[in-house]
Amino acid sequence: MIRFENVGLRYDMGPEVLRDLTFEIRRQSFQFLTGPSGAGKTSLLRMLFLALRPTRGLITVLGRDVATLSRKDLPSIRRRIGVVFQDFRLLDHMTTYENVALPLRVRGKEEREYRQDVVDLIKWVGLGERLNALPIVLSGGEKQRAAIARALIDQPDVLLADEPTGNVDAPLARRLLRLFLELNRSGTAVVIATHDLGLMEQVDARRLVLADGRLEIYD
Ligand SMILES: Nc1ncnc2c1ncn2[C@@H]1O[C@H](COP(=O)(O)OP(=O)(O)OP(=O)(O)O)[C@@H](O)[C@H]1O
């Protein structure tokens, strides 16, 4: 579904921070992306959701060569990729419901078509009681789940999550992991970037390990 072939990345005139990355995120697969701080996880995630172009090599997403995509092709491909950012990026003046519904509203969908789906998804992530709360009153874990719901509302083919358990305690981290596994069972490919060894030990999943700019894969 997403393929990297000999991909390299450098920022400006700096050294290559990622080198010779060749791997595939397959449909309905589940994997962790890990490696020491500064190894390039966030840079790799940004390439996966087409926010950053490689300086070398080939990336294909859903069969399309990223280098040949025009600006107008991007939204329809990005829509297939849900992203949960490390800092959540919820809009402060919008409620949980409005934040989660935003991707659909931006696409011009009518509220009556999606209202129930948004409410159901918010309940699924355990935020039913927080439907009308603004981000400022949500705890870190609640914001995390609101961000996950927003990434999922448009039923992406792949979910990318950057340190999704970075701000939560161990029981909530386990709940979030169960949520990701359930999502994966229902057909979504999942990539979780994390430092959290305890989290990775809970599932026998593929690991993509970045070190010194290169990727080692443990299937
Ligand atoms: N916009 C940028 N301009 C220049 N260098 C950058 C930029 N973003 C990242 N880098 C460099 O690229 C390397 C990889 O950074 P990246 O943020 O991808 O690592 P990471 O593995 O996600 O780190 P962490 O786990 O600490 O978030 C680092 O050496 C970093 O300094």
Give 94 Cα–ligand 1 centroid separation in angstroms.
Answer: 30
Distance CA 188, CA 130 (A): 25
Residue 116: pLDDT band with limits 50, 70, 90: very high
By percentage, how much of the chain surpasses pLDDT 90?
Answer: 74
Most ligand 1 atoms within 8 A of CB, residue of 7, 42, 52, 197 to mutate: 42
Q: What's the confidence (pLDDT) of residue 175? A: 85
Give 22 Cα–ligand 1 centroid separation in angstroms.
Answer: 19
The complex's ipTM works out to: 0.94
Please list the residue range(s) of the chain that carry CATH number 3.40.50.300: 1-80+156-219
Give the CA distances from residue 39 to residues 2, 28, 65, 215, in Å, rounded to whole numbers and listed in that order: 21, 26, 25, 10
Distance CA 26, CA 10 (A): 26
Q: Over range 56-70, report the average pLDDT.
A: 92
Architecture of the domain spanning 1-80+156-219 = 3-Layer(aba) Sandwich (3.40)
Q: What's the confidence (pLDDT) of residue 71? A: 86
Quick one: DSSP state of residue 64?
E
Most ligand 1 atoms within 8 A of CB, residue of 7, 10, 41, 162 to mutate: 41
Q: What's the confidence (pLDDT) of residue 191? A: 97
* pLDDT > 90? residue 75: no
Q: What's the confidence (pLDDT) of residue 169? A: 83
Distance CA 75, CA 62 (A): 13
Distance CA 210, CA 21 (A): 10
Residue 8 burial (C-beta neighbours within 10 Å; 0-12, 13-18, 19+): middle
Q: Which residues have C-beta within 8 Å of that of residue 179, sequence separation ≥ 6?
A: 124, 125, 145, 148
* pLDDT > 90? residue 148: yes
Give 40 Cα–ligand 1 centroid separation in angstroms.
Answer: 5
Q: Over range 183-211, report the average pLDDT.
A: 93
Give 38 Cα–ligand 1 centroid separation in angstroms.
Answer: 5
For ligand 1, residues with CB inside 6 Å are 11, 14, 17, 35, 37-43
* pLDDT > 80? residue 215: yes
Distance CA 2, CA 155 (A): 17
Give 128 Cα–ligand 1 centroid separation in angstroms.
Answer: 36
Tokens of 205: 């999943």
Take atom 28 of ligand 1 and give the residue whose Cα is closest. Answer: 38
CA-nearest of 75, 35, 69, 33 to 54 is 69
